[in-house]
Amino acid sequence: MLKYIPVVVLTTSKAHEDILKAYGLHANCYITKPVDFEQFANVVRAIDQFWFTVVTLPTVGVHVR
């Protein structure tokens, strides 16, 4: 059941190896967080908007094969 939970990697790393590793471990997205608080808040709002408004996630209890 945990495989249906979206995994968002939010990190300060821009290293190509870290990006490849995250996606290799099945992360759904990799986001390099800005150091400026205002920009960081905008990124968090964008993540919220995307995952809770735009994306259609599977219904709990439904088996997808």
Domain-located, residue 34: yes
46 burial type by CB count under 10 A (0-12 exposed, 13-18 middle, 19+ buried): exposed
Q: Rounded CA gap, 60 and 50, in Å?
A: 19
Total tally of structural domains belonging to the chain: 1
Domain-located, residue 38: yes
Please enumerate in sequence order all residues whose Cβ is within 8 A of that of 20, keeping only pairs 6 or more positions apart, or say none.
none
- What is the pTM (predicted TM-score) of this model? 0.77
Domain-located, residue 42: yes
Question: 3-19 pLDDT, tens per residue?
Answer: 888 999 999 999 999 99
Question: 19-58 pLDDT, tens per residue?
Answer: 999 999 999 999 999 999 999 999 999 999 999 899 988 8
Range of the domain at 53: 1-6+27-57
